[in-house]
Structure 1
Amino acid sequence: MNTAGQDELHRAALAANALALCYAEVVHELLARAGLQAGDIRAIGAHGQTVRHQPGTHDGIGYTLQLNQPALLAERTGIAVVADFRSRDVAAGGQGAPLVPAFHQQVFSQPGRDVAVLNLGGIANLSLLPADGAVRGFDCGPANVLLDLWCQQHLGQPYDTDGAWARGGQALPALLRCMLAEPFLALPPPKSTGRDLFHAAWLARCLQAASAADASAQDVQATLAEFTAQACARHLQRHAPQCELLIVCGGGALNGHLMARLQALLPRVSVQPSDRHGLPALQVEAAAFAWLAHQCLAGLPGNLPAVTGARGPRILGAIYPA
C-alpha cells in the first residue's frame, strides 16, 4: 500500500475493516483475561497501520494515511475509540511523526541525566530527553522494515530471530557505504520517513549500485543490520553527544545482534532495553498511543512542536463514541 496498485481504494477499505475486526478480537480477549467489561474502559487508542506518509509534499501540506476503521472498532467493542492521531499535526505544518517523544519524556526521563529512547519498529526513531527538559525527536532511518523484508524473501520467516542470521554473515563495505549515503540520513530534524522511502526497490537500487546483486543473502542481512545500527548511532552522536543512557524499545530491542552492534558503536553510552526501565519493549508503542488517546479525551496537546515542526501544540485524534 505504500506504492500505487490496482483498485487500491477498494482493497484498502476492506483491509481496514479486517484490521479493525482483528483489533476487536484482541480487545475482547484482553477484557476476558482481565475480568473487565467494556464499560470499565474509557477509550481505545487505535493508531492503525500507516500505509502512506508524505507530510509537506505535493501541495505544500502533504498527507499521512493509516489503514483503520475506528467506527467499526467502536461498534464491535462498545468502547469509545480515539484514532487519526497524525493528521492534525500535519495540517499544522508538522511531520505528524514521531509522536512518541512526549510520552517517552513522561515515562523515561531522569532528572539531571541526558537520556535517549530509540524505538526500533519498522522505522527507527529517537527521542532525546536531555537534563534541561528540551525534548527533541525524529526518525533516523529504517529499523526492522528491510531486515524483515529480506528475511521473508530468503528464509520464508517473518523476522531474523535474535539477529542470528545476520550475526553469521559479514557486512559488505561497498553496500554499506551506498546505504549510508541515503540523503534522508543527512537531513536536519524535524524529519520523518517510512516505507514510502525504505522499501524493496530502494534496497534493489543499493544492491545494483554496489554491484552486490549476486552477494550472499546472509551477508546482505548482516549489512542491513549494520546499516540500521550505524544510522541510529550516528544520529545519537550528532544530536546528543553527551547522552549517557540509550533505552531501546520496539521489536528491535529483542534482536541481540542489533543491540550488541549499538553498544559497540556507542562505547560511552549504556544501551539497555526498556524492560529494565519499567515497560516491556513490545508494549511501549501501544502505551504511547493509549497516552495520546488520554491526552485527546482530556483536551490536552499530544504533539511537541520542537519535534514535529508543527506551528504549535495541538490536540491530536478524532473521537468515535461507544
Structure 2
Amino acid sequence: MSELYLGLMSGTSLDAVDAVAVDLGQAEPRLLAALSHPLPAGLRAEILALSHGVANDAVDRLGQLDHNLGICFAEAVTELCRRAGLEPDQIRAIGSHGQTLRHRPQPPAPFSLQIGDPNLIAERTGITTVADFRRRDLAAGGQGAPLVPAFHAAVFRSQEEQRVVLNIGGMANITCLPADPEPPVTGFDTGPGNVLIDIWIQEQRGQPFDRDGAWAASGRVDEALLERMLEEDFFAQPPPKSTGRELFNRAWLQRQLAQRRLAAEDVQATLTALTATSIAQAIERWARGTARILLCGGGARNNELIRQLRDLLPACSIESTGRHGLEPEWVEAVAFAWLAKQTLEGRPGNLPSVTGAGHPVVLGAIYPGQSVCPSS
C-alpha cells in the first residue's frame, strides 16, 4: 500500500532546496519525483550574513528570513507536486529539515536553530508538515546531529559486509553500519565537506562549485598547509561530534592562509585534500574493517575528491548510493521524509549511539495541513 511523503532539505552548501516525493509504504523507499528548487540570490546572501553573525537588526532579520524561507519551501513543494501530478490529499506529510543558522551543541547551553517557518509550509500547501527535528535530541543530551544515520541503517545496512555511508555535503559525515546486527550503528561529522572548497572557488573564480574537482586537480597540495589545517581540535575529538559553518567558514580559512603565498589552484587542491584526508582518518580510526563506502551528497560528484579517497582507502570499495537504489543527491531529502513518517507513527528518529542522547526520542513538531475548525 502506498504511503506518500515529501522531504525538503536545504543544506550547508546553500545551493538549492532539494524536494522529493517518496513512497514509504514498502520495505524500501521508492523515489517518485525530485527537484532542486533554486534559492534566490538575495535570500542566500541574507542567510550567509545572519549565519556569520554580521547582520544588523538580527532579530528582525531572523523573523523575516524565517518567513521568506518558509514561502520558498512551500513553493518547492507546490512545484514538485505539479511536476509529479500529486494532489495535497494524497500526501501524508512533509518532512522539512529547514535551514540551519546556528548549530552549537556544546554545553553549557546547547542549541541548534533551523528556520523556514513550517506553519507557512503547512498553510500554503495544505499538507501536514513535520519540522524542528534536532532540538528534542539536544534536550535528551545529544548533539542533535547527525540524524540521517537512522535512515541509513534502515536502508543500506547489510549482514554480508561492514559498510560506511559517507555523505559529503557542506560538511561531511559518516554512518558506520556493522554487518553484525548486534553492535550499534555509529556516526558523526568528520569535518568540512564541500564548504571550504566552495568558498574558495566562489571567492577566486566566481563559480558556485568546483565541477568534477577539475580546478583542484590542476593544483598541487601544500603538505605544510594541510598538516596545519589538520591540527584543528575538532578532528582529534572522539564521537559523538558534529560541526558546521560556526567553525569551518571563511574566517577559519583566512586564518589558515595567513602569511602564506600560494597559487589559488594549490589552495583548492589542499582544501580538497583536507576533506579527503579528514574523512579517511575518521574511517580508519572509528570504522576499521569497512569493506564498502556508499557515497551521497553533492561531493559524490567531485571526481578529484573521490580519486583521493580511493588512494587513501585502498582496501575499501567506494561507490554511489545510486547502485543501491537512491541517487546520491536525494538521500538526505528522502531521509527527512522518512523521519516525518517516524514522527507521525510515534517512533524514535534518533540513534543515541550516534548523537550521544540519553535515550531514543520521537523527533520534531507536527503542523497540521488543513485548518481544523472547532466543533460547535
Relative to the length of structure 1, the TM-score reads 0.97
Q: CA RMSD for the aligned pairs?
A: 1.0
Counterpart of 1:16 in structure 2: which amino acid?
A: D
- Equivalent residue for 1:242? 289
The SS at the match of 1:43 is strand
C-alpha distance in 1 between matches for 2:298 and 2:112: 23
CA contact (8 A) 1:167 1:257 kept: yes
Equivalent residue letter for 1:317: G
Check if 1:207 corresponds to 2:257: yes
2:129 corresponds to:
81
- In structure 1, the partner of 2:315 is 268
In structure 1, list runs of 5 or more residues that go unmatched: none
Alpha-carbon distance between aligned partners in 1 of 2:198 and 2:69, rounded to the nearest angstrom: 20
Q: Does structure 2 retain, via aligned residues, the 8 Å contact 1:56–1:93?
A: no
- Quote the residue 1:71 is aligned against: 119
Deviations 1:269-306 (A, max 9, x none): 01111111110011000011111111000000000001
Q: Aligned equivalents of 1:243 and 1:149: distance in 2? A: 31
Q: 1:232 aligns with which of 270, 275, 279?
A: 279
Name the structure 2 match of 1:127. 175
TM-superposed CA distance for 1:24, in Å, is 1.4
- Which residue does 2:226 correspond to in 1? 176
* Segments of 4+ moved more than 3 angstroms: none
Which residue matches 2:337?
Answer: 290
**1:64–1:87: 8 Å Cα contact kept in structure 2?**
yes
Kindly indicate whether residue 147 of structure 2 is the aligned counterpart of residue 96 of structure 1: no
What is the aligned partner in structure 1 of residue 65 from structure 2? 15
TM-score, normalization: structure 2?
Answer: 0.83
1:146 partner SS: helix
Residue 24 in structure 1 maps to residue 74 in structure 2: yes
Could you tell me which amino acid in structure 1 is paired with residue 328 of structure 2? Answer: A
**Greater displacement, 2-11 / 283-292:** 2-11
1:140-181 CA-partner distances (Å, limit 9, x unpaired): 100011111111101111111111111101111111011111
The aligned counterpart of 2:95 is 45
| Paired letter, 2:307 | A
Query: What is the letter of the counterpart of residue 163 of structure 2?
Result: V
CA distance in 2 between counterparts of 1:107 and 1:168 reads 37
Aligned pair count reads: 317
How many Å separate the matches in 2 of 1:15 and 1:165?
34
Aligned counterparts of 1:146 and 1:94: Cα–Cα separation in 2: 26
Match of 2:32 in 1: none
Equivalent residues of 2:77, 2:125 under 8 A apart: yes
Matched-pair identity in %: 54
In 1, Cα distance between the equivalents of 2:109 and 2:340?
24
Counterpart CA distance in 2 for 1:108 and 1:27 is 27
**Cα shift at 1:30:** 1.4
By percentage of residues, which structure has more strand? 2
